[in-house]
Amino acid sequence: MYKFKKENFLWGGATAASQVEGAWNLNNKSLTISEMRPFIKNLDRKNIKDVLDISKENYLKSIENKDNLHYPKRFGVDFYHRYKEDIKLFKECHLGIYRLSMAWARIFPNGDDEKPNEAGLKFYRDVFEECKKNNIKIMVTINHFDLPYPIIEKYGGWVNKKVTDLYLKYAVTIFKEFKDIVDYWLPFNEINVAIWSGVTGLGIFREDYKSNKLYLEACYQGLHNQFYAQAKFIEEAKNISHEAKIGCMVANSTNYPLNCDPKNVRECQRLQQIHRFFFYDLMVYGSYPSYINRFFKENNINLEIKKNEMETIKNNKIDFISFSYYATGTISLDESDKTESNLTIAGKNPYLKATDWGWHIDSIGIRITINEIWDKYHLPIFISENGIGVLEKLNEQNTIEDDYRIDYLKEHMIQIGEAIEDGCDVFGYTMWTPIDVVSAGTNEMSKRYGMIYVDYDDFHNGTGNRYLKKSYHWFKKFRETNLL
């Protein structure tokens, strides 16, 4: 038995609006980019490019859907109608904090609406009040991979600086509305995904650019606009309430050199700088680091960066760091076996097991990651996503004996405890996820992360009823004893 020692640690769960809410066209809500990606039957689970590289033409076809395809994120797990039931289950297993995202498309359906949609504000007010009634703290992600399609259609996504203004109107509106009930704010989910998938993170299509260089340049421009939008939001929110607690969220892609060959060690260091530390460095220190400027120069990437934008970024830094942690990989300049690793491709690690989706299971890696981030930045740390996706079916007792999930969560939680013993300031953890959701990448219901089973298949056949897995009862007992 391992006793988790830190008191007042925030244990909870996380979801995203596009993956749970459903009700995609109710109460004036508009279509979002996440709801325009269809379920792909017989997809290769270990090749995320099959999903992320859907053509612009196929995205646009989804609007009329003449091919009668299934779009899972339009249905989610019907949290929109069943949130009271779900939050009650969260309370009963003692979740202390719920990280959820708000759908921009529910608040400003067209992006540039003069006034917010009152039905959208009411929905989230009802959800937040239900959380508070059940003694659950709230962390809100303001934008989680679901840019309203009208913004893409009219403005071309985040590459257009006008979208910064639209975002700020949305973000400040909901901050004013909910500042007294929301405990923590994250302006963007996994902000670095902007570089890995422009359509997911920024709402820009590769086909709209004549070369890979121009597309990459557009991705970094859109990313810069998000950095500025985040800093400007921090500035405005702090002027409204000095008590606001605002962090960042990065898809943390910790990788190791495949071996001790110095060229592989250096390549790993270089890629870790570009794919991980660049984002933290800019949001913590407020300037573009020298290594990314070299990368821009060598790749002829030219960005429109205004002096006032950099001043705002410099003067409005985050209060805490949050990140998602699922897997690690290896880096080698030589040919090596590759595998999926949360929207990225990395080398295989012969010392680790992997999921059915190819993601390495590396609990010690989360301790390494926490120590690296704490040593480098000395800001409070919150692990905002961590979990394991598995193929599961209910047994005759209407439950699932998911000991593999218990083992996964337990080993990662122990390593978080050890990182705290190392001296790192970690104040919370939200598992991905307390309840089954539609997978962000592969759009599957059958990739199940939750401690609560939802009775839908990949085409949303089923009752939608909730059933408790073995891990649910295990987590409840842990929260009552602090014993792992």
Tokens of 304: 């429109």
Distance (Å, whole) CA 412 – CA 367 = 8
Q: What share of the chain in percent tops pLDDT 70? A: 96
Domain boundaries, position 287:
10-481
What Rg do the C-alpha atoms of the chain give, in angstroms? 21
- Ordered alpha helix ranges (H), 11-117: 17-20, 49-52, 56-64, 79-92, 104-107
Tokens of 252: 């943390």
Q: What was the pLDDT predicted at 190?
A: 97
Residue range 414-459, pLDDT digits in tens = 999 999 999 999 999 999 999 999 999 889 999 999 999 999 999 9
CB 65 within 8 A of CB 71: yes
Q: Residue 357: pLDDT band by 50, 70, 90 thresholds? A: confident
CB 202 within 8 A of CB 158: yes
DSSP-derived letter for residue 360 is: B
Q: What was the pLDDT predicted at 337?
A: 63
Please report whether residue 5 resides in a domain: no
Distance (Å, whole) CA 87 – CA 134 = 8
Backbone conformation region of residue 21, classed left if phi is above 0, alpha if psi is from -120 to 50, else beta: alpha
- Name the phi and psi angles at 64, rounded to 5: -95, -25
Return the axis-axis angle of helices 403-421 and 470-481, rounded to nearest 10°: 30
Residue range 16-33, pLDDT digits in tens = 999 999 999 999 999 999
- Ordered alpha helix ranges (H), 134-211: 149-155, 162-178, 193-196, 198-202
CATH number of residue 42's parent domain = 3.20.20.80
Q: What was the pLDDT predicted at 276?
A: 95
Please report whether residue 3 resides in a domain: no
3-state secondary structure of 130: helix
Distance (Å, whole) CA 33 – CA 194 = 14
CB atoms under 10 Å from CB of 52, counted, come to: 17
Residue range 290-305, pLDDT digits in tens = 999 999 999 999 999 9
Average pLDDT over residues 136-165: 98
Average pLDDT over residues 373-393: 97
Q: What was the pLDDT predicted at 54?
A: 83
Measured at the CA of 468, the angle between CA 466 and CA 474, to 5 degrees, comes to: 155
Question: Is it the case that residue 4 has pLDDT exceeding 90?
Answer: yes
- Burial of residue 114 (number of CB atoms within 10 Å: 0-12, 13-18, 19+): exposed
Residue range 70-128, pLDDT digits in tens = 999 999 999 999 999 999 999 999 999 999 999 999 999 999 999 999 999 999 999 99
Distance (Å, whole) CA 230 – CA 192 = 13
Q: What was the pLDDT predicted at 47?
A: 65
Q: Residue 346: pLDDT band by 50, 70, 90 thresholds? A: confident
Distance (Å, whole) CA 241 – CA 177 = 12
Separation of first and last alpha carbons in the chain: 6
Q: What was the pLDDT predicted at 42?
A: 77
Question: Is it the case that residue 48 has pLDDT exceeding 70?
Answer: no
Please report whether residue 325 resides in a domain: yes
Please report whether residue 4 resides in a domain: no
Report the sign of the C-alpha dihedral through residues 437, 442, 443, 447, in that order: negative
Count of structural domains within the chain: 1
Distance (Å, whole) CA 432 – CA 437 = 9
Average pLDDT over residues 284-291: 98
Q: What was the pLDDT predicted at 50?
A: 61
Question: Pairing between strand 137-143 and 184-188?
Answer: parallel
- Written as one string, the DSSP assignment of 396-417 is TTS----HHHHHHHHHHHHHHH
> Which residue's structure tokens are 């842990």?
478
- Name the phi and psi angles at 247, rounded to 5: -120, -170
Distance (Å, whole) CA 225 – CA 309 = 9
Q: What was the pLDDT predicted at 358?
A: 85
Residue range 241-258, pLDDT digits in tens = 999 999 999 999 999 999
Q: Residue 406: pLDDT band by 50, 70, 90 thresholds? A: very high
Q: What was the pLDDT predicted at 19?
A: 98
Q: Residue 171: pLDDT band by 50, 70, 90 thresholds? A: very high
Q: What was the pLDDT predicted at 451?
A: 98
- Written as one string, the DSSP assignment of 217-258 is HHHHHHHHHHHHHHHHHHHHHHHH-TT--BEEEEE---EEES
CA distances from 32 to 19, 106, 109, 196, 222 (A): 12, 10, 9, 19, 18
Please report whether residue 354 resides in a domain: yes
Please report whether residue 194 resides in a domain: yes
Distance (Å, whole) CA 436 – CA 455 = 9
Q: What is the largest CA-CA distance in the chain?
A: 64
Question: Is it the case that residue 52 has pLDDT exceeding 70?
Answer: no
Question: Is it the case that residue 341 has pLDDT exceeding 60?
Answer: no
Q: What was the pLDDT predicted at 164?
A: 98
Catalytic residues: 385
Q: With the CA atoms of 221, 223, 224 and 226 taken in that order, what torsion angle do they form, in degrees rounded to the nearest 10?
A: 130
